[in-house]
Amino acid sequence: MNSSAHSPFPVPPTRAALMNCIDMALAEDLGPSGDLTTDLLIPPSSRARARIISREPGKLCGAVVLGPLFGRLDPQVSVTETIAEGGRFEAGATLATLEGATRALLTGERIALNLMARLSGIATLTARFVQAAGGQARVVDTRKTTPGLRALERYAVRCGGGHNHRFNLSDGILIKDNHRVACADLADAVQRTRAGTPHPIRIEVEVESLEQARSARDAGADILLLDNMAPQAMEAVMNELGHDVLYEASGGVSLETIGAIAATGVDLISIGALTHSARSLDFSLELEA
Amino acid sequence: MNSSAHSPFPVPPTRAALMNCIDMALAEDLGPSGDLTTDLLIPPSSRARARIISREPGKLCGAVVLGPLFGRLDPQVSVTETIAEGGRFEAGATLATLEGATRALLTGERIALNLMARLSGIATLTARFVQAAGGQARVVDTRKTTPGLRALERYAVRCGGGHNHRFNLSDGILIKDNHRVACADLADAVQRTRAGTPHPIRIEVEVESLEQARSARDAGADILLLDNMAPQAMEAVMNELGHDVLYEASGGVSLETIGAIAATGVDLISIGALTHSARSLDFSLELEA
Amino acid sequence: MNSSAHSPFPVPPTRAALMNCIDMALAEDLGPSGDLTTDLLIPPSSRARARIISREPGKLCGAVVLGPLFGRLDPQVSVTETIAEGGRFEAGATLATLEGATRALLTGERIALNLMARLSGIATLTARFVQAAGGQARVVDTRKTTPGLRALERYAVRCGGGHNHRFNLSDGILIKDNHRVACADLADAVQRTRAGTPHPIRIEVEVESLEQARSARDAGADILLLDNMAPQAMEAVMNELGHDVLYEASGGVSLETIGAIAATGVDLISIGALTHSARSLDFSLELEA
Amino acid sequence: MNSSAHSPFPVPPTRAALMNCIDMALAEDLGPSGDLTTDLLIPPSSRARARIISREPGKLCGAVVLGPLFGRLDPQVSVTETIAEGGRFEAGATLATLEGATRALLTGERIALNLMARLSGIATLTARFVQAAGGQARVVDTRKTTPGLRALERYAVRCGGGHNHRFNLSDGILIKDNHRVACADLADAVQRTRAGTPHPIRIEVEVESLEQARSARDAGADILLLDNMAPQAMEAVMNELGHDVLYEASGGVSLETIGAIAATGVDLISIGALTHSARSLDFSLELEA
Amino acid sequence: MNSSAHSPFPVPPTRAALMNCIDMALAEDLGPSGDLTTDLLIPPSSRARARIISREPGKLCGAVVLGPLFGRLDPQVSVTETIAEGGRFEAGATLATLEGATRALLTGERIALNLMARLSGIATLTARFVQAAGGQARVVDTRKTTPGLRALERYAVRCGGGHNHRFNLSDGILIKDNHRVACADLADAVQRTRAGTPHPIRIEVEVESLEQARSARDAGADILLLDNMAPQAMEAVMNELGHDVLYEASGGVSLETIGAIAATGVDLISIGALTHSARSLDFSLELEA
Amino acid sequence: MNSSAHSPFPVPPTRAALMNCIDMALAEDLGPSGDLTTDLLIPPSSRARARIISREPGKLCGAVVLGPLFGRLDPQVSVTETIAEGGRFEAGATLATLEGATRALLTGERIALNLMARLSGIATLTARFVQAAGGQARVVDTRKTTPGLRALERYAVRCGGGHNHRFNLSDGILIKDNHRVACADLADAVQRTRAGTPHPIRIEVEVESLEQARSARDAGADILLLDNMAPQAMEAVMNELGHDVLYEASGGVSLETIGAIAATGVDLISIGALTHSARSLDFSLELEA
């Protein structure tokens, strides 16, 4: 499942996903009266240039929002991306330059920074995990994303070199611990999901031991989620069951532990922290005098 | 501006804000076909109990979503809050218990955890800043919030003992650096905003030096935002200009520096990190066997 | 891939899908002034009973809309399903009975019938195809559904004993003829999609000959879509390539031909006509005098 | 009420109706991640030409969606209509050609075909009924349309040479059988609706016999709906009551019976099958190599 | 067209129209943070009673919003209507009493008063016109309504004893002066509209002279809009053309002139001022101590 | 608080506020079928010029809707404003000219007039109050606006030379009579609101006597709302308490009384009638022959 050679450039979010997020953010931040300060101080005809700058190094994600965001405020704003999406930058780097109505630049500043700094934080953290994994397994996200921003945060994971798990509860099957509490017979459970699931979707089962792994494999699971298992235990499973199924490691993955986990030969390592605990990078927008 | 004695319990978000967020999250996470795994495995008539547990200590925010969220999935779900909003808890604590349709509990699990863990992360970080400030100044948030979640994240700041700054660009006036680049005469700028702003709103001006602070005060500013100034420089401003205006400190505030900043006597200390860089707490939902 | 023994009852559409459809239909059919005729003639306090009747035999789908639809018009309406979803009925059968405000029964009549008659038409046609296939292959739908009604029409296919293909363009990979026109190297194409696709999703490739089938299989396809191939040609492909991949037959499937296609041993037979060309059944609502 | 000479070209749906339908269809078919296959295989810069072709003869309706639909995906797509809306075409005809971003053409293909094939199916069936009626009566639609598509399906009826009945329950009065069950005195009913109805709207009453027709006419009805009456019975009504009211025939109208019904001299013949049971035509989109 | 004896009670707006208006008003007036003053001062458990009082006499319209409005804020609020919709009241009258959460009563107060005072102002003005018309003609509204409130304002006209004209541009035909500027041949225009209009809708033509009236009648108009004609001129038209068509008087209608206009025998008198120039009545909500 | 010299031109509503209102009005007035009369009579290719004219003198507000409104109907319509927003005009004046598709001009006519005539009515009435106040106090609006039109009506007040009060319940604190009924201790109430309110927002308290005013000032109120007090009583308050707080007069303000109220030296005079009882001006749109 190594994909580096053929990996296309990260596919950006759909236009609908971008615009929904941007319009929600504009409604929230402009309020019913708009940007009072700017509208009272800056004449509509004023034009300016501005730069978006990072005060720390990282990996870029989110420049894709600049055009649609500032376009909502002024159709004439032009955006120049000086760092490509997914590209690395150093502290002090200019990430993009903007030119257009001064009002639009000032009014859109905070939303632009909020989105780019958050998404770049995710991409930067993802890239650290990918590097620590040493190219031996896919680093994948989880559903532990910010409500309303999943499409964008998944894109940030891709920009960081990671991959995506299922988007939501309707485009993947994952039989978890809590399902098994309520549904004792695993073989029956796998068959029931197989019978009712669109055929393009694989069946994944969460297991915590070799014994559970074997019964899940025997029941017909396509993917085994090895939950919170030590690297040696994972190796034991794979030695015993072979590689006709995919193996996903999950639980307690840190930058310190991911190397050993990847070395076991699992196909995928899923990490909730990519999206739920990345901190925003320190970006600012500077108007040119 | 000390308010501890009279501080009412944090006012929760409006029902509209809660439901917008919950419905957005449900649409995102259920997708067009709903929770395939659960619907195929669990009969509609199955009922269960579950607990929401924290694996680390913190301050709670977000239990307010449980009722409306699970109510969307099963009108019969009952929620018992075992820790109050704004309350402290230890590792291993049960935060709330749920009882109702097993399907609803499993389908809503991830959204509940995503929201509560994020909001509690913000409340917990805010509480640490409030404690470090020693009760001498209000700890306030900024507009550096997650797009779409501002109302909820501001509530998390309140649950942590912090206070809120303006909600958006239309309910406050803040003349910032970038405005002054495009608008040279500060006295004129303050008068123009005063003339066009609803009278219940105060005028705030960002300054970086005693000289700027004096000219802003003289121009009629109600609040001075002392941006990235050292504590001694802040003290110099307040000694010189007195306390007829409010002082807000901002920029480079950390748990290490906030004590010294608060000790200067500023009224408010605003901290973007409260919302843009808090990490989610480690919460889980456990179905009872 | 035989699933008859374990097939759970068809999972109904999500509440969101049902309510979106119902509210759209109500807005469309009530218009800005509501049901003028009924509101002018029937006092609000009048109550009545009504039956939904079929004038022809068939398989039922759509009773699931009755509760939510009439509930929008009168929270007190009670619905009794006399035929279960997915059940067979004869001409003259009473499908459901309703009791509640006369106004609600009259105002909701047309929407109820429009939805149930259409969905039951799809279920009935699907059941005929399933029967003609003789249980040897899954009968599956396509994306040739009515815009806005896909979730409901897929449910109708399930009620008729059929299965669903991918819901939309984002939860399945299908490399079609038109993609290959623009993307010559199939092995490269499969690798590129594998690299960028969430791992729970299988890769499907449309082929029109044994040669194409072999190259698609060699490129790593998980599913082969045998497009418009004669039964013998399909058998030749399966004899040659074996059953490590799934086979889906498509194109020119009719009630006359499906038996022979199913007999080849393909896993799936997809039929656009299930949803794009089913005619509505002849249902009516009769108020009891 | 003959209108052939002055009949203007069918008025297309409002832009709002078109865009609502298109945006609903795009959200449904693109899903949260968009067209994965196309986005992974086709570079954004690729451009192509495509033709929309019919495999069977018919009457066109729906080309009006092509511009707005593909414009949502690529503002640069150009559409050339080679057959006019309402025009006839033979099997194999090219209905329209498209040129623009390859991604847009592939991603929009299915929605374009779903809408055009359905609407052209309705237009084609309507044209057959209009022809069979021999120009002696208006062929009109009913409210038996697809939920959400009424505005478009009524347009398809117009493209086929038919006419429209009332749009919804608020822009027409039709006292039906079920109203009379609950509202015994017909004269009173007509007066009550007349008193409460905007004066531009005529009052229509459904009748099943000469006796009912006479009492409805005497009560002041403007239009009589002759429900399920034999042609001779209709003639008897018109002979007796004359043509100061309009007559609409309804119920059991087929291509075989419509000629005799039209010959009676009724003004209108309404046919639910136009919209509830037309099958989609067989259209395809072919990318040029 | 006299309808007094059979006139049913005014049909209220649809639930959708009411809820759209109420939810729009709540979003507008609560803002992102809700009712800060009330939420900070009043505990959630506090309950109270309140009365809605008028300081001037009038005719009531709008009590229908109280239940749905306060129900959005507190499902337990009970509303008692002490004056019926359409009923007269004196200065000082209690129009309704409310009991429930104090917060809900205070937060909903302004929206309740804004809507009721406006709608009652329209009903009161309408009643004055109806009385001045002496029961000889229908007093009807126009499309000169407040954007977004048309359904409610039409209801207010009905509560005042008036009637409604067409709701919007799609449920009536009115060939006006500006149409005739661009469309010279009136006979052709009437035929074209007849040909393209659903048959339940009558054709109305605006005329300014006997000559125009005659040509419109001859062209087949069903209703003549006598625009800005003196009463004698109207009588001359009706004497000449008889009463096979309906006559609507419009333009320059005041409380002083309506009596003479009604005495001419026109069927309808339409008055824009009913909705565009009624002033709100002076209502207040008083919390009981 | 005199602001005449620096008052910038009235800031128009946000684009979101304008488009929400325009789209709501278009949906309401076009209905599901659009402008039947115009679409049937006027060919799409016809172009025309039109003028918007006032039959009475006034102050203009609302020309800002013309571009976005007609742009929704025809992107090619050009609008020329012959009177500036906020400008005075005489009877017979041409307010704006339009050129574009005849269909667009006729279809948008009523919405354009409804909005402009209403907003100009508010601006005109406001200007009369401002003039009568003699420049000595700000004339401010209230929350007694039309549901859904608050942003536009506040703009009309600004165009008339008035100022705005808080937009809604979440961007201002106003402790009113009804709050004090439920919350006896005023000093405690002011402290509680101060503690929970974002610091940019001032605290306003409604008082009815010198005694109440003194206790509110002592409790820390920033603004005193002098409710229904005689001018002499207001003067007594200001003499006693001085001008460290702002004074707002409210209640029973008419064109006759405002002069005396303004002469007392209050800072603000708020008048509900500006928005709840202004009548629409008499505007018309004339197509050029």
Residues of chain D with pLDDT under 50: 1-7
Domains plus CATH for chain D? 15-126+278-288 (3.90.1170.20), 132-276 (3.20.20.70)
- The answer to whether D33 contacts chain C (CB < 8 Å) is yes
**Is E176 in the active site?**
yes
Residue E74, classed as helix, strand or coil, is coil
Alpha-carbon distance of E275 to E146, in angstroms, equals 7
Which residue type occupies D142?
T
> What tokens were used for A210?
């070799």
**Annotated catalytic residue within F110, F218, F240, F286:** F110
Identify the band that residue C289 occupies on the pLDDT scale cut at 50, 70 and 90.
confident
Q: Tell me: the pLDDT tens digits for A197-230?
A: 999 999 999 999 999 999 999 999 999 999 999 9
Query: Residue A285's Cα: distance from chain center in Å?
Result: 24
Question: What's the confidence (pLDDT) of residue A176?
Answer: 95
Is residue C184 within 8 A of residue C173, CB to CB? The reply is: no
Q: Is the pLDDT assigned to residue C5 strictly greater than 50?
A: no
Please state the pTM of the whole predicted model. Answer: 0.95
Strands (DSSP E) found in E31-160: 47-54, 58-59, 78-81, 88-89, 94-101, 138-140
Question: What's the confidence (pLDDT) of residue D7?
Answer: 45
Q: Span E260-284, mean pLDDT?
A: 97
| CB within 8 Å: F28 and C31 | no
Q: Span C29-33, mean pLDDT?
A: 97
Q: Which residue has the tokens 């700000």?
A: F138
With both helix axes pointing from N to C terminus, report the angle between C210-219 and C231-241 in degrees, rounded to the nearest 10: 40
Identify the band that residue C8 occupies on the pLDDT scale cut at 50, 70 and 90.
low
Alpha-carbon distance of E109 to B86, in angstroms, equals 31
Alpha-carbon distance of A115 to E109, in angstroms, equals 38
Residue C190, classed as helix, strand or coil, is helix
Q: Tell me: the pLDDT tens digits for E234-251?
A: 999 999 999 999 999 999
> Which positions 152-191 of E are in contact with F (Cβ < 8 Å)?
167-176, 178-179, 181-183, 189
Q: Which of A155, A199, A269 to mutate to test the interface with C (most CBs of C within 10 A)?
A: A199
Question: What's the confidence (pLDDT) of residue F8?
Answer: 53
Q: Mean pLDDT over all residues of chain F?
A: 94
Q: Is the pLDDT assigned to residue A5 strictly greater than 90?
A: no
Q: Is the pLDDT assigned to residue C1 strictly greater than 80?
A: no
CA end-to-end span of chain E = 51
Identify the band that residue F5 occupies on the pLDDT scale cut at 50, 70 and 90.
very low
- Which residues have a Cβ under 8 Å from the Cβ of B59 and sit 6 or more positions away? B86, B87, B88, B89, B120, B123, B124, B126, B127, B159, B160
| CB within 8 Å: F11 and B196 | yes
- The answer to whether A33 contacts chain E (CB < 8 Å) is no
C284 bridge partner residues: C53
**Residues in chain E closer than 8 A to A31 (CB atoms):** 31-32
Q: Which of C28, C36, C172 sits opposite D173 (nearest CB)?
A: C36
Q: Which of E37, E192, E280 sits opposite F40 (nearest CB)?
A: E192
Alpha-carbon distance of D55 to D77, in angstroms, equals 24
**Residues in chain E closer than 8 A to A32 (CB atoms):** 28, 31
Give me the DSSP letters along A35-52: -HHHHHHS-TT-EEEEEE
Q: Which of A16, A168, A171 sits opposite D26 (nearest CB)?
A: A16
> What tokens were used for C36?
């003028």
Interface chains of chain F (3 or more CB pairs under 8 Å): A, B, C, D, E
Alpha-carbon distance of A244 to A232, in angstroms, equals 20
Q: Tell me: the pLDDT tens digits for B200-213?
A: 999 999 999 999 99
Give me the DSSP letters along F91-107: TT-EEEEEEEEHHHHHH
Q: Mean pLDDT over all residues of chain A?
A: 94
> What tokens were used for A193?
């999901």
Q: Span B28-46, mean pLDDT?
A: 95
Identify the band that residue E276 occupies on the pLDDT scale cut at 50, 70 and 90.
very high
Q: Which of B169, B173, B277, B281 to mutate to test the interface with A (most CBs of A within 10 A)?
A: B169
| Nearest Cα residue to D162 out of D133, D201, D200 | D133
Any idea of the CA torsion for C128, C130, C134, C135, to the nearest 10 degrees? -160
Alpha-carbon distance of C73 to C70, in angstroms, equals 5
**Residues in chain D closer than 8 A to B31 (CB atoms):** 31-32
Q: Span C99-107, mean pLDDT?
A: 97
Is residue C60 within 8 A of residue C86, CB to CB? The reply is: yes
> What tokens were used for E32?
């992102």
Strands (DSSP E) found in C129-184: 138-140, 173-175
Alpha-carbon distance of A198 to A170, in angstroms, equals 10
Q: Beta strand F246-250 with F223-227: parallel, antiparallel or unpaired?
A: parallel
Task: Find the radius of gyration of the CA atoms of chain C.
Answer: 22
**Is D176 in the active site?**
yes
**Annotated catalytic residue within F35, F141, F206, F248:** F206
Task: Find the radius of gyration of the CA atoms of chain E.
Answer: 22
Is residue B116 within 8 A of residue B53, CB to CB? The reply is: no
Query: Residue C180's Cα: distance from chain center in Å?
Result: 29
Least Cα separation, residue F235 to chain E (angstroms): 27
Q: Write the CA distances from F4 to B217, C229, F162, integer angstroms.
A: 21, 82, 11
Q: Is the pLDDT assigned to residue C6 strictly greater than 70?
A: no
Long-range contacts of A237-242 (CB under 8 A, 24+ apart): A237/A207, A237/A210, A237/A213, A238/A264, A238/A265, A238/A266, A240/A210, A240/A213, A240/A214, A241/A213, A241/A214, A241/A217
Least Cα separation, residue F276 to chain C (angstroms): 25
**Is F227 in the active site?**
yes
- Which residues have a Cβ under 8 Å from the Cβ of B22 and sit 6 or more positions away? B65, B68, B69, B72, B111
Q: Is the pLDDT assigned to residue F1 strictly greater than 50?
A: no
Least Cα separation, residue C237 to chain E (angstroms): 57
Q: Write the CA distances from E73 to E30, E43, E44, E67, E77, integer angstroms.
A: 11, 14, 12, 10, 8
| Nearest Cα residue to F12 out of F50, F61, F57 | F61
Q: Is the pLDDT assigned to residue A55 strictly greater than 80?
A: yes
Question: What's the confidence (pLDDT) of residue D8?
Answer: 53
Identify the band that residue A8 occupies on the pLDDT scale cut at 50, 70 and 90.
low
Q: Please report, rounded to a whole number, the percentage of residues in chain B having pLDDT higher than 70.
A: 97
Please state which of the ranges C1-5, E222-226, F162-166 shows the lowest mean pLDDT: C1-5
Question: What is the helix (H) or strand (E) element at residue C177, kind and residue range?
Answer: helix C177-181
Q: Span C224-234, mean pLDDT?
A: 97
Where in the sequence numbering do the catalytic residues of C fall? 110, 144, 176, 206, 227
Is residue D163 within 8 A of residue D138, CB to CB? The reply is: yes
Question: What's the confidence (pLDDT) of residue E5?
Answer: 37
> What tokens were used for B113?
């955890």
Helices and strands in chain B: count of H runs, count of E runs: 11, 12
Write phi, then psi, for F138 (nearest 5 degrees).
-70, 130
CB atoms < 10 A from the CB of A134, how many? 11
Q: Mean pLDDT over all residues of chain B?
A: 94
**Residues in chain E closer than 8 A to C26 (CB atoms):** 16
Q: Which residue has the tokens 């040029």?
A: D288
DSSP class of D188: H
Burial class (CB in 10 A: 0-12, 13-18, 19+), C49: middle
